[in-house]
Amino acid sequence: MRKQNYGYLIIILFSILTFFISPLQVLADSGTALEEAKAGARSAPDNLGLDGAMFTKADFSQYGSRFNSANLVDANLRTGGDSRAILMTSQPSQVGAIWSNLEGGNYVDITKKQTMSMWMYFGPKKHTDGKDFGDGMAFVLQKSSDGANAIAHDGSSIGTGESLGVWGIDDNRDMSTTAGIAATAIQNSWALEFDTHTNNDASPSNATYFDKGVSGQHIAYGYPGDSETYTRSGSSPVYLPIIGTYVSGGYYYRMNHEGTKQVDLHDGTWHHLTVTWDPVKFQATCVFNDKNPDGSIGTNPVEIDVPSVKAAEFGGYDNLSDHKLRWGFTATTGSAYEANLIAFESIPSSVEGDATPSITDTTQQKEVASNGTVNSNDQLAIKYNLKYDSGRDKWSNINAQVVLPENVTYQTGNYEDVIGSVDYGDGQGSEPIYASELTGTNTLDHILKRNLDSSDRGGPTTATITINGVANNVTTNTDVASVRSTINSDTLIKDVDMLPFTILKSKPINLVLDKNNISVNPNKSAPITGTVSYVDGTAITNSEMTVHANLNGTDLDNFKMSNDDASGKLNFEIPADKLTEDTNILKVYVTDPNGNKTATSTVKISKRGALALKVDNYSFGSINQVASSILIPRKGDWKIMVDDSREKGSNPWNLSAKTGGLYDSGAKFNGNVIYKNANGIEKVLNNNSKTLIANGSKTQEGEQVTNVSQMWNDSEGLLLRSNGSNISGNYSGEMNWVLSDTI
């Protein structure tokens, strides 16, 4: 009897010890979990911080004693202060759900491009207590009637474990339809899960089969409230009332994952996620691990392309009439646990903006493509193009933390030098960037003096940050890697990855023209010839060489050298109709396919000039009626002007004339126009042949004018010979002149 009582005493004492020891273990677990969560929060990368008014914590009070573990916390997990992250879970058996405050203006506008950029943390690689991890969290877009209180539930209890708080609940072996499972999920939603605990145990009512066919930690997406997201397994359960339990059977469900990617999630590091909503395609694009915690480019980004979302998945067009989707996160833990944390770089309802890179080679006057080329010593403009798209806030206090491409020189040593500028889209308030703002050979910090904003609030909507530099003179072709800069601000953090490019080694090219001073006859083209060669002796392929010419300040069309000519032979003409000046200035240079450029050569093209004749009206003296032949002199000052603008020493010119005589109302003058030379020899002018009346030579440079009539005395030159009596009247006629320079 005593022995029996003693046994009872041992059992009672053992039970009491168990009662006190168990809570101590729970506290130990809690302490471990808390420290792991703090370690995560303290190591968060640079982020925006959080405004509590932008989020709403779901209310679980209608589901019994379950509390919402999600909170906005600082680096020490304290709430109510300077929040830097959202802590979703940290202990076993927790459920967290937090949503954008749609009513407060935080939502995804499905009619606009929207970008959500964030950091996610899933705990260390191993728990210090050796326990399992679970279960993960989900990013959710939803239009549920539960609004900010949305959570997976069956009316009385919340989905935990594999549900992640968003997928359907599979804890009822009697549930025989996928529609029944889907009805317990968050309705009218799309979810991207980050699952750290594989559930593939085929056991009815235990909610442990969703991940059948999926191994390890993974990312996947789906539509929680859609019955096609789930597949049924098992058989009808057998229940024995006599013993009040199931003896066999029961249904359990597998989740049909879409876009599954296996990834390491709980590894002690923060992971970057970018979600972009495309309003045209009506789809979300998600990129995971696209950025490292130190800000550098992710080496193995995981991209999940989501096909266009059907409006029916969000309850149909009527349910989307306001064009707003609530977004947020859910997370759960079961017997396993982990610290689930989120920190933000961009929230689209606050500011949606872009920052894109570009490079202009101002020497070659071209935009440099990604992996394009520039030449050694080319002038480069490195640009960061900021664009405000939408949002309720200004893009304010913008700090450009720029990492510039290497192998480019940005200053000459004078800190007061202006090495760049910020130019705003409204054309106002351009600001210089000084060499003193360089924090290293290729790093620079510049705070923009103006904010960017929407045009209806006064803008400006864009800003271009330009840093000028010179490509180094390299001896071998040198690849310049992409470098990442950060555009930091109060409301948005954007990364800009500068385009990679190659600096080509210096390859000087020469152009030697055969003539730099050319004279051409009127209406004749000007031939331009010369030789193009590489200094290093590389053979010239004519068809690859482009000729650039400028005539009298106007650019001519570029053209290629001809392969019909010898290698390196430059041969082209300037058409006569383009030689509009007496002295024309041609500037010409040649470039190769890589932009190597010769020096500019200048050619002076002079038109040889021409002979011009100017003759005014003229007359002979009056005569009285006479019967005998007389010589009638010229009347007044005749001007027979020969204008010679040809080159000095050109062929002599000859002036000839012919005429059909003088007439008065059809009556011919009885006599002839004659030319009398200095020797007194007379020649009668007629229409049958030309009579030489003067000649001359170009004896000086420039224009030389000869007044032929001044070469004659009163009894020489053109005179009128009367052969006898004439009827009184005024006689007139035409003189045809011929001025030539032929021998």
Residue 375 belongs to domain with CATH number: 2.60.40.740
Same domain, 56 and 161: yes
Does residue 2 surpass a pLDDT of 70? no
Same domain, 82 and 104: yes
Note the pLDDT of residue 127: 87
| Within-domain flag for 273 | yes
Note the pLDDT of residue 595: 84
| Within-domain flag for 14 | no
Q: Which residue has the tokens 């007389």?
A: 630
- Cβ contacts of residue 403 below 8 Å, gap of 6+? 442, 443, 483, 484, 485, 498
| Within-domain flag for 56 | yes
Same domain, 134 and 76: yes
Higher pLDDT, 417 or 65: 417
Among the candidates 576, 607, 638, a domain finishes at 607
Q: What is the band of 606 on the pLDDT scale with cuts at 50, 70, 90? A: confident
| Within-domain flag for 451 | yes
Which of 229-243, 284-298, 540-554, 562-576 has the lowest average pLDDT?
Answer: 229-243
Same domain, 566 and 476: no
- Based on the number of CB atoms within 10 Å of its own CB, is 399 exposed (0-12), middle (13-18) or buried (19 or more)? middle
Same domain, 30 and 176: yes
Half-sphere exposure (Cβ direction) of 249: Cα atoms closer than 13 Å: 11
Percent of the chain whose pLDDT exceeds 70: 94
Same domain, 213 and 272: yes
Same domain, 321 and 455: no
Q: What is the mean pLDDT of residues 397-413?
A: 93
Does residue 221 surpass a pLDDT of 50? yes
Note the pLDDT of residue 625: 63
Structural domains of the chain, count? 4
DSSP letters for 663-705:
EETTEEPSEEEEEE-TT--EEE--SSS-EEEEEE---SSS-EE
Domain residues for 470?
352-504
| Within-domain flag for 18 | no
Note the pLDDT of residue 415: 78
Q: What is the mean pLDDT of residues 399-425?
A: 92
Q: What is the mean pLDDT of residues 310-336?
A: 93
Integer Cα distance of 320 and 317 in angstroms: 5
pTM of the shown model: 0.70
Q: What is the band of 17 on the pLDDT scale with cuts at 50, 70, 90? A: very low
pLDDT tens, position by position, 65-115? 679 999 999 999 999 888 999 999 999 999 999 999 999 999 999 999 999
Integer Cα distance of 270 and 120 in angstroms: 6
Does residue 499 surpass a pLDDT of 50? yes
**CATH for 120:** 2.60.120.200
Same domain, 38 and 183: yes
| Within-domain flag for 223 | yes
Closest CA to 330 of 123, 99, 101, 156: 99
Q: What is the band of 724 on the pLDDT scale with cuts at 50, 70, 90? A: confident
Among the candidates 607, 626, 646, a domain finishes at 607
Note the pLDDT of residue 690: 93
User: What mean pLDDT is reported for the chain?
Assistant: 89
Alpha carbon 366 to chain centroid distance? Answer: 13
Does residue 372 surpass a pLDDT of 70? yes
Note the pLDDT of residue 30: 55
Whether 315 contacts 150, CB under 8 Å: no
| Within-domain flag for 2 | no
Q: What is the band of 247 on the pLDDT scale with cuts at 50, 70, 90? A: low
Same domain, 252 and 206: yes
Among the candidates 346, 374, 408, a domain finishes at 346
**How many helices and strands, by DSSP H and E, does the chain display?**
2, 54
Q: What is the band of 8 on the pLDDT scale with cuts at 50, 70, 90? A: very low
Same domain, 138 and 257: yes
| Within-domain flag for 6 | no
Q: Are strands 640-644 and 611-615 parallel, antiparallel or unpaired?
A: antiparallel
Same domain, 295 and 421: no
**CATH for 617:** 2.60.40
Alpha carbon 7 to chain centroid distance? Answer: 83
Integer Cα distance of 382 and 465 in angstroms: 8
Percent of the chain whose pLDDT exceeds 90: 69
Whether 479 contacts 499, CB under 8 Å: no
Same domain, 319 and 409: no
